[in-house]
Amino acid sequence: MKLIPLLTAMVLSGCAAISADSAFIWTPTGLNENKKEMDGKVVVVRAYLIDEQENHALWESLDLFEEGKASHCISLIYGGDMRMDIQKYNRKEVIIRGVFKRNFMNKNEVWLGMCNVSGLNVIEVVK
Q: What angle do CA 30, 92, 94 make, to 5 degrees?
A: 50
Please report whether residue 68 resides in a domain. Answer: yes
Model confidence pLDDT, tens digit, residues 14-55 = 333 333 345 699 999 999 999 999 999 999 999 999 998 888
Q: How many domains does the chain have?
A: 1
Residue 44 lies in a domain: yes
Residue 47 lies in a domain: yes
Q: Is 18 a member of any domain?
A: no
* Residue 6: inside a domain: no
CATH of the domain at 36: 2.40.50.140
Asked whether residue 72 is assigned to any structural domain, the reply reads yes
Residue 2 covered by a domain:
no
b/e sequence 94-125, b meaning 16+ C-beta within 10 Å: bebbbbbbbebeeeeeeeeebbbbbbbbbeeb
Supply the DSSP string of 107-121, one letter for each residue. Answer: TT---TT-S-S-EEE
Summarised one tens digit per residue, pLDDT across range 56-111 is 899 999 898 888 888 999 999 888 888 888 999 999 999 999 999 998 876 666 66
Query: Domain containing 86: what range?
Result: 24-125
In a domain, 15, yes or no: no
**pLDDT of amino acid 22:** 54
